[in-house]
Amino acid sequence: MDKIDSIDYISRIKNLKRQKNAIILSHYYQTGDVQDIADFVGDSLALSQKAASNDADIIVFAGVKFMAETAKILSPEKKVLLPDINAGCTLADSCRAEDFSRFIGENPGRTVITYVNTNVDIKVLSDIICTSSNAVQIVESLPENEKIIFAPDRNLGNYILNKTGRDIVIWDGSCHIHEEFSLEAILELKKTYPDAKIIVHPECKLPVRMIADFIGSTSALLQYTKSDKSNRYIVGTERGIIHQMRKANPSKDYIPAPPKDSTCGCSECSFMKLITIEKIYKCLMEENPEIIIDKDTVAKARKPIIRMMEISEKLGF
């Protein structure tokens, strides 16, 4: 590829989008420049809905593989591109289909609810998909005596269990970003900034959730900082979301929650950060790497996602 500066990449991406009737969807955990070039920025639920409802021929997914797969499942007739095919997810990879099939077999008669952060072969094994925005409400929408399996995030599963009191068996997976936030380091930071509110994602561990002023999905955290009156927040999720928080309220102060090891940069998802402006340009130009899923798998994986969307719509999400 020619050596061109980032301004050229952006104008070339805009031209290619027009020529090819393409849109760029970006997750909140992308870098600021990637979020700014996107047609739509959101969390997993909003991006899934956007993928299903637009009339573009090509979707460039600035996110990780399971998200691009979800877009493909919802829009099989569209070309879905992932600018770096190595953008995986430790949480999704902590739940392998063979092991999960065995787990379902060991816990018969339960409705299988899985978080959208799963690979396509896990979605095929699921009854309903959920996101962190709607997980509690989806569980609550089921009859009270319905027994549930939840996977793959143990912290989100534990959060849902505490909120709903339902009979839930939880898969033992986790996201390394949210697992790494340190209770001690956050409390230490709070001493320096006693006015800061602690806001965290439900994928954080219980001790961190217990000291939080607010717990919510990435969109809910963003919404909270928009409507809340405080001026300072300690943000316990991937730090990419702070870009949108600053755009919405530049005068407020947003401090990334510290991980155990302050030198590791652990509050940045290295998979998300594999996506760059240059890679977006290259993949749009070459229409590669493309997400390919066979028809039969799409049909099977689609059912639990559609069920999530129907329940979400009924609940007004």
Show contacts with ligand SF4 in window 129-188 (CB under 6 A).
175-177
Nearer to ligand SF4 (CB atom), residue 91 or residue 234: 91
Would you say the C-alpha torsion 218, 137, 98, 71 has a positive or negative sign?
Answer: negative
Nearer to ligand SF4, 67 or 128 (CB): 67
Does 90 sit near ligand SF4 (CB under 6 A)?
Answer: yes
Stated as kind and residue range, the H or E segment containing 238 is none
Question: Quick one: 17 or 134, whose CB is closer to ligand SF4?
Answer: 134
Query: Which CB, 96 or 190, lies closer to ligand SF4?
Result: 96
Query: Are 205 and 259 contacting, i.e. CB atoms less than 8 angstroms apart?
Result: no
CA–CA distance, 125 with 161 (Å, rounded to integer): 21
User: Which among 89-97, 164-172, 205-213, 218-226 is the span making contact with ligand SF4, rule CB under 6 A?
Assistant: 89-97
Exactly one of 114, 117, 118, 155 binds ligand SF4 (CB under 6 A); that residue is: 117
Q: Rounded to the nearest whole angstrom, what is the least distance from the CB of residue 221 to ligand SF4 in the complex?
A: 14
**Dihedral angle of Cα 212, 216, 219, 220, to the nearest 10 degrees:** -80
Closest CA to 204 of 235, 227, 161: 235
Nearer to ligand SF4, 32 or 165 (CB): 32
Q: Which stretch binds ligand SF4 (CB under 6 A): 7-15, 207-215, 265-273, 298-306?
A: 265-273
Cα(68)–Cα(279) distance, rounded to whole angstroms? 15
Residue among 64, 116, 186, 309 that touches ligand SF4 (CB under 6 A)? 64
How far is Cα 265 from Cα 276, in angstroms, rounded to an integer? 18
For ligand SF4, which is the closer residue by CB, 74 or 275?
275
Cα–chain center distance at 125: 20
Residue (29 or 224) nearer to ligand SF4, CB? 29
Residue 156 and residue 202 in contact, taking contact as beta carbons nearer than 8 Å: yes
Binders of ligand SF4 in range 221-250 (CB under 6 A): 238
Query: What number of helices (H) and strands (E) belong to the chain?
Result: 16, 12
Candidate list 51, 62, 91, 212; residue touching ligand SF4; CB under 6 A: 91
Q: Given the structure tokens 């980032």, which residue do they identify?
A: 6
Stretch that binds ligand SF4, among 15-23, 84-92, 208-216, 281-289 (CB under 6 A): 84-92
Here the tokens at position 197 are 């509110």
Distance between CA atoms of 186 and 202, rounded to whole angstroms? 16
Stretch that binds ligand SF4, among 87-95, 223-231, 259-267, 283-291 (CB under 6 A): 87-95
Instruction: Examine residue 89 and tell whether it contacts ligand SF4 (CB under 6 A).
Output: yes
- For residue 10, the cross-strand partners are none
Interacting residues with ligand SF4 (CB under 6 A)? 29, 64, 89-91, 117, 175-177, 238, 269, 271-272
